Structure 1
């Protein structure tokens, strides 16, 4: 049980609760104890792709955090809330409802490298406390702007008072902040009413399962049917086949020399067995993350 379980996270569930659900499934299915972690926080008010790393795949969770994400989201114009979503209190109102053409015209301004101020209701820490905890106490939360990249942004659908968009974004991007800033640029206010992550790194909704399916698989001791291989988290890098002797050297922490492979990261394999995520430079191979398999 070393690999990935991709949850289609339901509304209201936190990312850590998703991790707990997989731990519970492993336990109830009699699979034993494994390390479990998630590959990128997803807001409780959001649904969609939540990669859960199991066993040795947890060594790749940090790499997943750095990956691009794709979201579908709906902005409802006319009201801004303090949380920038449906849960918050209304703090500003406007009668301006932009047309689809006006929305599309503004999108290039938010495509590429941009600066954005995260929501006050976020998990970022301020003086050792979570921003959302301070905000709930009524404290004024001021967060510094951060540089993020919106790699693609497109209008999918529209209604008289709303617009649904798809965004491919870099790590650290807050969709609620993006929605707020788009509304402001259109001379109005708005908040997010729907947020769904449709892709995280290489993982899409096609491989995602519901909590009910997870629980059923655990009860039937078929959880391995839901497990994607460790390799699935590295499908964007080439494989590097090793001899048993070469694999043994890497497992001992030694570097390989004179290997004919292009520079960059590779997924090193001994037959079908994952050995390590490695970095190749001028024929030298060094371990970035080793797998105990």
Structure 2
């Protein structure tokens, strides 16, 4: 018999407005402690110096993280022109400088090249694995890496402000695996003036919006009290991008046991990925075939 997990059997999403200076893993660990949860994970890493939306899943909600992999994410960021750094942000050492500064029109003219399906090289200091090791670990040891370009879908990249000649603020919407620091680096190179990120804030991830997020101060104030459970959002929030089907009573029993179960007709076609609910509570995620859902994830709620 396996050892029982320590902590409460609690499930749901906590939408965190991550402060600068904390890693995403540190936030998850703090929430696991604050909620006394058995299990926790996050949907989409944020750099330590970045702020904003970090969705944290507790308990059964961790099973929905996989279905957020293709969710679009929105960022607001500020670029400083005139310098390239080792990390492509303000935390790194300056490795090249330029006296050139782009005009607003020049910036806008360069943006379309970064839209749609593009290829992007991750920053030297990133979590990408190289021969089994993280790129940032190798970069800290002084290695100059030849990282491979990766596919990225960019839905929007817009100039939103120009505080002064040295800086520009932009909004960026992308799919999975995007690096804002790479956008700033590559945009600076395209404009011939170099550039790096000096501030970065994620405003939304798929169905999760920063307006619903809570601060770490609020979480710490309520830590390990009954009141903290009021910060939880339902597990189903992580399934918002999938169609919902209603399971029959008998179908729900079968689904919970990992077997195909009957569902009522809904907005799906044969083979579509969907989630089944009973009384509004998630039962399983799976493929719809001939009136049944064939489960690939089962929830115990």
The two structures have a TM-score, normalised by structure 1, of 0.94
| 2:27 is the alignment partner of 1:23 | no
CA distance in 2, matches of 1:236, 1:121: 32
Map of 1:95 onto structure 2? 99
Aligned 8 A contact 1:115 1:147 in 2: yes
1:50-74 CA-to-partner distances (Å, cap 9, x unmatched) read 0100010011112223322111111
Map of 1:179 onto structure 2? 184
Aligned 8 A contact 1:259 1:285 in 2: no
Picking from 187, 195, 204, the partner of 1:199 is: 204
Map of 1:268 onto structure 2? 276
- Structure 2 unaligned residues grouped into runs of 5+: 1-9
CA distance in 2, matches of 1:272, 1:258: 13
Map of 2:172 onto structure 1? 167
SS of 1:182's equivalent in the other structure is helix
CA distance in 2, matches of 1:272, 1:124: 38
Picking from 188, 213, 218, the partner of 1:213 is: 218
Give the 5 Å matches for 1:239-250: 239-250=244-255
SS of 2:261's equivalent in the other structure is coil
Map of 1:190 onto structure 2? 195
SS of 2:214's equivalent in the other structure is coil
1:80-112 CA-to-partner distances (Å, cap 9, x unmatched) read 101110111111111111011111111111111
Map of 1:280 onto structure 2? 288
Map of 2:72 onto structure 1? 68
Map of 1:78 onto structure 2? 82
| 2:58 is the alignment partner of 1:54 | yes
1:178-205 CA-to-partner distances (Å, cap 9, x unmatched) read 1111111111101100111111121010
CA distance in 2, matches of 1:87, 1:167: 21
CA distance in 2, matches of 1:102, 1:256: 57
Picking from 119, 136, 139, the partner of 2:140 is: 136
| 2:158 is the alignment partner of 1:150 | no
CA distance in 1, matches of 2:58, 2:34: 12
| 2:45 is the alignment partner of 1:41 | yes
- Identify the range of structure 1 (101-110 vs 212-221) with the bigger mean alpha-carbon deviation: 212-221
CA distance in 1, matches of 2:45, 2:62: 14
Cα RMSD after superposing both structures: 1.5
Q: What is the Cα deviation at residue 3 of structure 1?
A: 0.8
- Structure 1 unaligned residues grouped into runs of 5+: 28-32
Q: What is the Cα deviation at residue 257 of structure 1?
A: 5.6
CA distance in 2, matches of 1:202, 1:221: 26
Aligned 8 A contact 1:15 1:50 in 2: yes
1:218-266 CA-to-partner distances (Å, cap 9, x unmatched) read 2542111100000111222332122211101111222236852322232
| 2:261 is the alignment partner of 1:224 | no
Q: What is the Cα deviation at residue 215 of structure 1?
A: 1.3
- Identify the range of structure 1 (249-258 vs 80-89) with the bigger mean alpha-carbon deviation: 249-258
Aligned 8 A contact 2:246 2:264 in 1: no
CA distance in 1, matches of 2:23, 2:70: 19
CA distance in 1, matches of 2:261, 2:63: 21
Runs of 4+ in 1 over 6 A off after TM superposition: none
CA distance in 2, matches of 1:19, 1:73: 24
